[in-house]
Amino acid sequence: MEETVVISQAELDQPEETSQRDVIAMIAMLDYLIAQIRPIDGMAAHCLMLARKSLGTARSPELH
């Protein structure tokens, strides 16, 4: 049986809050990926480092 979920435009317009704990977990995952990919592909590792920095500074300056 399929269930339909109705979401109002007001709900779509509101930004979702991401908890500090979730951001720290994402940064830790990026750190792991950077360490694993660096020996294989330096450019990909650099892109991941930029993503990590962006995530840290966008959410909380003390995380970068």
pLDDT of amino acid 2: 76
| Total residue length of the chain | 64
What are the sequence ranges of the domains in the chain? 16-63
With 0.85 as the threshold, say if the pTM is over it. no
Quote the tokens at residue 25.
Answer: 């977990």
Burial of residue 26, with CB atoms counted within 10 A of its CB: 0-12 exposed, 13-18 middle, 19 or more buried: middle
Q: Report which of 32, 29, 34, 28 is spatially closest to residue 50, judged by C-alpha positions.
A: 34
Q: What is the pLDDT along the chain (64 residues), one digit of tens a residue?
A: 677 877 777 666 666 777 888 889 999 999 999 999 999 999 999 999 999 999 888 766 555 5
